[in-house]
């Protein structure tokens, strides 16, 4: 599988790794059974994403996608961050192999999940999130949901 230099750079030297204590919003997507779990933390002040961190358990493309996505939303307004699509993440990485495109989808969904969390915590309405469904299991359906300890 051929990876771009940008994918390798963000995999080897990921930006914004870590956690934010008392984060404004936290989004977690993925499924242990398919191997990629992504958690994004947002620190939002006056509708601006002041800081963003991530923790990703997964392949190099998942880590690179998380790193690039956090770079793309840092300093942006909530509404600008919602315009960051998986396609934009993949393009910013100079492309992902087709079998790894789901990693950029996860990154987009993790940001949206963190913004949904932020909206719920603050009892605010973000129109762009109306009807957004976070499909965090890649169409693998399981009868039993696993709880994180």
Whether 59 is catalytic: no
Residue 71, φ and ψ in degrees, nearest 5: -65, -35
Q: Which of 40, 72, 103, 110 is catalytic?
A: 103
Q: 99: exposed, middle or buried (C-beta count within 10 Å: 0-12, 13-18, 19+)?
A: exposed
Whether 103 is catalytic: yes
Q: Which of 17, 34, 101, 116 is catalytic?
A: 34
Residue with tokens 């192999």: 97
Comparing CA positions, the residue from 64, 23, 66 lying closest to residue 45 is 23
Six-digit token string for 102: 């789901």
Q: Sheet holding 48-57: strands in order across?
A: 25-31, 36-45, 48-57
Residue 97 DSSP label: -
Residue 92, φ and ψ in degrees, nearest 5: -65, -25
Question: Active-site positions?
Answer: 34, 103
């Amino acid at each position: 599988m051929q990876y771009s230099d940008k994918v390798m750079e963000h995999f080897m030297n990921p930006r914004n790794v870590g956690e934010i204590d008392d984060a404004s919003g936290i989004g977690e997507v993925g499924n242990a059974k398919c191997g990629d779990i992504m958690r994004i933390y947002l620190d939002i002040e006056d509708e601006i994403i002041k800081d963003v961190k991530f923790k990703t358990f997964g392949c190099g493309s998942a880590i690179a996608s998380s790193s690039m996505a956090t770079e793309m939303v840092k300093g942006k307004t909530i509404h600008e961050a919602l315009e960051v699509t998986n396609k934009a993440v993949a393009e910013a990485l100079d492309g992902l192999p087709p079998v790894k495109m789901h990693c950029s989808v996860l990154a987009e969904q993790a940001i949206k999940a963190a913004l949904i969390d932020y909206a719920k915590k603050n009892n605010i309405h973000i129109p762009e999130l109306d009807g957004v469904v976070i499909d965090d299991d890649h169409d693998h359906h399981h009868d039993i949901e696993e709880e994180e300890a």
